[in-house]
Structure 1
Amino acid sequence: MPDLRLALMQAASPAGDCAAAFAAAEHGLRAAGAAGANVLVVPESFAPGYNSDAIAALALARGDAWQDRLAAACRAANCGLVFGYAERDGDAIYNAALALGPDGAELAHYRKIQLYGAREASIYQSGDAYVSFDLAGHKAALLICYDVEFAPHIAALAAAGVTVLLVPTANMLPYTHVMRATVPAMAANHGMTIVYANYCGIEGDLNYAGGSLIVGADGDVLAQAGMGPALLVADVPAVDAARLSSQARDYRVVR
């Protein structure tokens, strides 16, 4: 397979300041592009911020000028971008992620399927479809935060041939088990490289857990952040087929 270099940005929440979110994404793209990354993943609902109390008012329409701005930043950096945002579509609000290529073209658009808790359910409508796309010769897909904790979603994507999963997230304390155990296990069990891009710092009543990571298809952690801002870059290694999970082939259904 072609070589693939992946990057993520762990950052504090823009906390309702969409202009700051775009500026931070542009800064991250310049750094990731200079490092030769094919794509940069930023956190969930990066515009306007996951815990903003004005998400409905600040939600963005897909394809507006903000998307043109990020597309131009991708072209300038020669790096793709996965950008989590609150999307307005008519009267509906979705927790969404947009994937842009190094040329600024839209590669995929995804709406979070598994809304987390009463707050998200009170703001957003649920998505109802997976998306996949070509990323430098690899079949990639998007999930958002809580989605990646559900093995059936990962299994469905793996069955469709997805080998790279890009995940904006907003994971808060005390849920560090997700980075420590869940994400590496999902990668290993389904033979999939996973990029999990989280926030750090405090936003309102949330203390984000940091710990963003890039995990190989054999479950090895290729790069991981601590509790502060970080830009991680990792190459996807060739993995010995003997180390890849055979669960999909070996699974026995018990009636």
Structure 2
Amino acid sequence: MSFPIALWQGPSPEGSDDRAFAALDAALRAAAALGAITLVAPEAYLPGYNQPDIPARAQPRGGPWHQRLAALARSHGCGIVIGYAEGDGDHVYNSAVAFDASGREIGHYRKVQLFGPREKSIYTPGDTVSTFDLGGIRAAMLICYDVEFAHLTRKLAEEGADLILVPTANPEPNTHVSRLVVPAHAINHGLTIVYANYCGTEGDITYCGGSVIAAPDAAILAAAGPGPALLIADIDRQPDPALIQTQLTDFRPV
């Protein structure tokens, strides 16, 4: 069975919905043409990670952004996983949402591990993880800094996840995350991780690109450089049996 997953690395739309949805439309069209099940896009892509007025721009779950995303997925016959600023009453969350190829919401997640003083001043942290079915594979979402915390990856592996989809906004000089941390967590927990970063600059942030799809044996199935890229990889492959780890069953608390 073939299971192609696409990843899109591009610049921030910098608060422009028109720019954001034009870029997503083109990326989804290309991903669908290549047979992808879903496309993973960066963190807080709506309205852009480093925008100055995120609380004012945040939208509720199911609001206009979601309606447009669902329509895009439906029109191209390709799912999408993307980060957005979620407004919920007096709270703002750094969230991610997954739609399937029919435009149906199949997963939703709020970032647990907020990064740095800026995120902590804007967002309320999430407090739970969950899994969902993506075309017959048990999938989950984390957001950027989350994937650097082994306890979150382990929790999802314990809940049966085989695939973690990670919208991210990783700035320079943190290239070690996609080169080392993501493949290490993939092999240690026996799952595939799709890590979708920005590229270019946004305000005072320069993103390091380096988006990656890492397999359960730490094989790099696809990797981007520092510029715009659309990656696609068939994650239905047999990992090297000599590299399959048994940490989940071997773990002994101390």
The residue type paired with residue 219 of structure 2 is D
The residue type paired with residue 74 of structure 2 is R
Structure 1 stretch displaced more, 25-34 or 40-49: 25-34
1:238 corresponds in structure 2 to: 238
Matched, 1:249 2:244: no
Shift in Å at residue 241 of structure 1?
Answer: 4.0
The residue type paired with residue 155 of structure 1 is R
Shift in Å at residue 107 of structure 1?
Answer: 0.2
- Aligned-partner Cα distance in 2 for 1:109–1:242: 35
Shift in Å at residue 240 of structure 1?
Answer: 4.2
| Cα shift readout 1:18-58 (whole Å, capped 9, x = no counterpart) | 22112211211111011000010000000111000111111
- Aligned-partner Cα distance in 2 for 1:95–1:40: 19
The residue type paired with residue 210 of structure 2 is G
1:116 corresponds in structure 2 to: 115
Matched, 1:20 2:25: no
Shift in Å at residue 248 of structure 1?
Answer: 1.3
TM-score by length of 1: 0.97
Instruction: Give the aligned length.
Output: 253
Moved over 6 A (4+): none
8 Å CA contact retained: 1:16, 1:54: no
- Aligned-partner Cα distance in 2 for 1:26–1:129: 31
8 Å CA contact retained: 1:164, 1:194: yes
The residue type paired with residue 250 of structure 1 is D
The residue type paired with residue 170 of structure 2 is N
- Aligned-partner Cα distance in 2 for 1:61–1:234: 32
| Cα shift readout 1:130-170 (whole Å, capped 9, x = no counterpart) | 12111111100000000000001101110111000000000
- Aligned-partner Cα distance in 2 for 1:253–1:70: 43
Shift in Å at residue 239 of structure 1?
Answer: 2.0
Shift in Å at residue 200 of structure 1?
Answer: 0.3
2:166 corresponds in structure 1 to: 167
8 Å CA contact retained: 1:26, 1:70: no
Structure 1 stretch displaced more, 134-143 or 63-72: 63-72
| Cα shift readout 1:89-140 (whole Å, capped 9, x = no counterpart) | 1111100001000000000110000000000000000001112111111100
- Aligned-partner Cα distance in 1 for 2:238–2:38: 18
Percent of paired sites with the same residue: 54
SS of the residue aligned with 2:83? strand
Shift in Å at residue 83 of structure 1?
Answer: 1.2
The residue type paired with residue 115 of structure 1 is L
2:144 corresponds in structure 1 to: 145
The residue type paired with residue 129 of structure 1 is T
Gaps of 5+ in 1: none
The residue type paired with residue 124 of structure 1 is Y
Gaps of 5+ in 2: none
- Aligned-partner Cα distance in 2 for 1:240–1:209: 30
8 Å CA contact retained: 1:8, 1:232: yes
Shift in Å at residue 62 of structure 1?
Answer: 1.3
Shift in Å at residue 3 of structure 1?
Answer: 3.0
2:100 corresponds in structure 1 to: 101
- Aligned-partner Cα distance in 2 for 1:59–1:19: 16
- Aligned-partner Cα distance in 1 for 2:123–2:19: 23
8 Å CA contact retained: 1:48, 1:85: yes
1:91 corresponds in structure 2 to: 90
- Aligned-partner Cα distance in 2 for 1:205–1:64: 29
Shift in Å at residue 195 of structure 1?
Answer: 0.3
- Aligned-partner Cα distance in 2 for 1:177–1:89: 34
| Cα shift readout 1:224-244 (whole Å, capped 9, x = no counterpart) | 000000000000112244421
1:157 corresponds in structure 2 to: 156
1:33 corresponds in structure 2 to: 32
